Chain A
Amino acid sequence: MSAGRETGLRRALRMAALAGFGLLAVTLEAAPLGLSPAAVTSPDLVFCIVAHWALRVPGAAPVLLVFALGLARDLLTDLPVGLGALGLVFAAEWLKTRRALLARQPFVLEWLAVAAAAAAMAAALWLAVLLSLAQPPFAAALARHTAATILVYPLVTACLGWVLGIGSLRDLPRAAGEAR
């Protein structure tokens, strides 16, 4: 009973940490670091953090929390409202299903899975905006943004692993991949 309560408390703490880090990431993304279209593209830090959680502690990354984070990001950084949040939810859910396969595998495979999710999310967003008869961004600009996200993922993972002690997927037993 007390073990269950302890687990529940840990889960709640990890959810709170996801919310906190997610909001910090939104704020960092929104920081005015150059308004010109030619300025350096900021990476999608919220996606990196959600992907880290979805692969390591999927139980602490529930759909509603991920959606709320995505919505806050959409509203504060001027993305297509609702669409960015949906993309984040689908990416997180897909990564959760890949967790069992990625457990005890080298980091490169995890990185590839995250890169695939990021690229698919960006392509889906671009297509959805195009289909809704709005003007989609330049494919090159979106590709730059996605590339920045993919490049920054190992850094985010290393930082979060160091801060929270949720280390590499290699430490997880393969069977743990099925736990949600």
Chain B
Amino acid sequence: MRRTERGQGSDPSEGLNRAIQRTIFGAVIIAGIVLFVLWRTDNPRVEQMRLTLMDAVLPSMGWVTEPLAVMTEIARDYEAVVDIYEQNRALRREIQRLHAWRETARQLEEENAQLRALNNLNQPPRTTFVTGDIIADSGGPFRESALVNVGARDGVVDGSAAVDGVGLVGRVSGVGERASRILLLTDFSSRIPVILKPRGRRAVLAGDGTPAPRLEFLDASEQVKPGDLVKTSGDGGVFPPDIPVGRVIVTPSQEWRVVLLSDYSRLEFVRLLRYRPDTRIDRPGGLVLPDGAARDPRPAERLGAGGTGRPPALTE
């Protein structure tokens, strides 16, 4: 039937048809290359495009992704359902034990607040958060990322830390009106400044597509031991300090890696932290000159302007 339809067309119209198709094909190739170059060179603009599309299709996507996610969860929890009675009993025992701990924690919190007040300590601002549901992940092996259903209207900003109940998951790298994208710690382009406790060694946690990211730029690695706790250092002012990330391990090839605390396979909700550092050093300090060599007649006041000088009455 198709052949008869084509057969009706005369040669000139057939030729014109082919020319149009060829032009469209060429235009599509050019558009693809231009988009790819734009993606490589100007990622934020493409990211904005991505999230605008996401905002548009988000309500309809939920119809498909949510039942699927629920089915996966059911399949995953099937084994747990089998011994649910035993689990229930264990949980009841744990709740009883935790009740006692909650009272202790309350008392300690009050005591801590009183002591801090006595000490006149300048506390960092309280970090607030917004919780989002993971609605999509990157389908292919090119990226390790996820989309959550909270965005700019919920106060999410680019760079916010994403955590689950236990530890750091990633950071926000693209905010739409109603959705934002989280770059997971395992992605190739993820780099997070971390600190290793208890020794306080600093390093950069670099994702490389494996479940356990690598530790780079580790200073004094002889002081680091497998099992050390890895936390965010807060360097750079993007993440709040002291978010737990994972535990250090050493691979057979003597590479330092981190086993993440957050369980990516069971991730359903994430908290996106709204954090603004309260103090920021944005300029170098003034010169501290020896006594007598100072040209300025009032050196104490100059130092005071930098925020480091003591009041003259206290100096000897």
Judge whether B40 and A132 touch: CB under 8 Å.
yes
Q: Does A50 contact B (CB under 8 A)?
A: no
Bitwise interface map of B from 62 to 80 toward A, beta carbon under 8 Å scored 1, else 0: 0011001100100000000
CA distance A145 to B1 in the complex (A): 38
Chain B residues near A59 (CB, 8 Å)?
Answer: 2
Looking at the assembled complex, report how far the CB atom of A150 sits from the nearest CB atom of chain B, in whole angstroms: 15
Judge whether A77 and B140 touch: CB under 8 Å.
yes
Q: How large is the interface on B (under 10, 10 to 19, 20 to 34, 35 or more residues)?
A: 35 or more
Chain B residues near A77 (CB, 8 Å)?
Answer: 136, 138-140
CA distance A59 to B24 in the complex (A): 15
Cβ < 8 Å to B, chain A residues 35-50: 35-39, 41-42, 44
Judge whether A36 and B265 touch: CB under 8 Å.
yes
Judge whether A137 and B141 touch: CB under 8 Å.
yes
Chain A binding surface SS class: helix
Looking at the assembled complex, report how far the CB atom of A100 sits from the nearest CB atom of chain B, in whole angstroms: 12
Chain A residues near B61 (CB, 8 Å)?
Answer: 27, 30
Q: Does A142 contact B (CB under 8 A)?
A: yes
Bitwise interface map of A from 120 to 154 toward B, beta carbon under 8 Å scored 1, else 0: 00000100110011111110011011000000000
CA distance A141 to B1 in the complex (A): 44
Bitwise interface map of B from 211 to 254 toward A, beta carbon under 8 Å scored 1, else 0: 10000000000000000000000000000000000000000000
Chain A residues near B40 (CB, 8 Å)?
Answer: 132-134
Which residue of chain B has the shortest Cβ distance to A44 in the bound complex? B140
Bitwise interface map of A from 46 to 84 toward B, beta carbon under 8 Å scored 1, else 0: 000000000000010011100100011101111111111
Which residue of chain A has the shortest Cβ distance to B1 in the bound complex? A7
CA distance A29 to B141 in the complex (A): 12
CA distance A176 to B5 in the complex (A): 12
Bitwise interface map of A from 9 to 48 toward B, beta carbon under 8 Å scored 1, else 0: 0000000000000001001111111111111011010000
Interface stretch of the complex, out of B113-121, B143-151, B274-282: B143-151
Bitwise interface map of B from 1 to 44 toward A, beta carbon under 8 Å scored 1, else 0: 11101101000000000000100110011011111111110000
Which residue of chain B has the shortest Cβ distance to A87 in the bound complex? B32
CA distance A7 to B5 in the complex (A): 8
Looking at the assembled complex, report how far the CB atom of B133 sits from the nearest CB atom of chain A, in whole angstroms: 9
Chain A residues near B8 (CB, 8 Å)?
Answer: 4
Judge whether B141 and A138 touch: CB under 8 Å.
yes
Judge whether B36 and A27 touch: CB under 8 Å.
no
Most buried by B among A4, A24, A175, A179: A179
Chain B residues near A29 (CB, 8 Å)?
Answer: 139-140
Chain A residues near B143 (CB, 8 Å)?
Answer: 78-79
Cβ < 8 Å to A, chain B residues 63-105: 64-65, 68-69, 72
Which residue of chain B has the shortest Cβ distance to A173 in the bound complex? B3
Q: Does B154 contact A (CB under 8 A)?
A: no
CA distance A77 to B141 in the complex (A): 10
Looking at the assembled complex, report how far the CB atom of B216 sits from the nearest CB atom of chain A, in whole angstroms: 14
Judge whether B31 and A79 touch: CB under 8 Å.
no
Q: Does B172 contact A (CB under 8 A)?
A: no
The listed residue (B2, B69, B135) touching A7 by CB distance below 8 A is B2
12 A–B contacts, CB within 8 A, in A order? A3-B5, A4-B8, A28-B64, A30-B136, A32-B146, A75-B54, A82-B36, A83-B39, A86-B36, A89-B25, A129-B142, A137-B142
**Closest 9 pairs between A and B when the two form their complex, measured CB to CB:** A82-B35, A77-B139, A29-B139, A86-B32, A78-B138, A141-B141, A30-B136, A82-B36, A36-B264
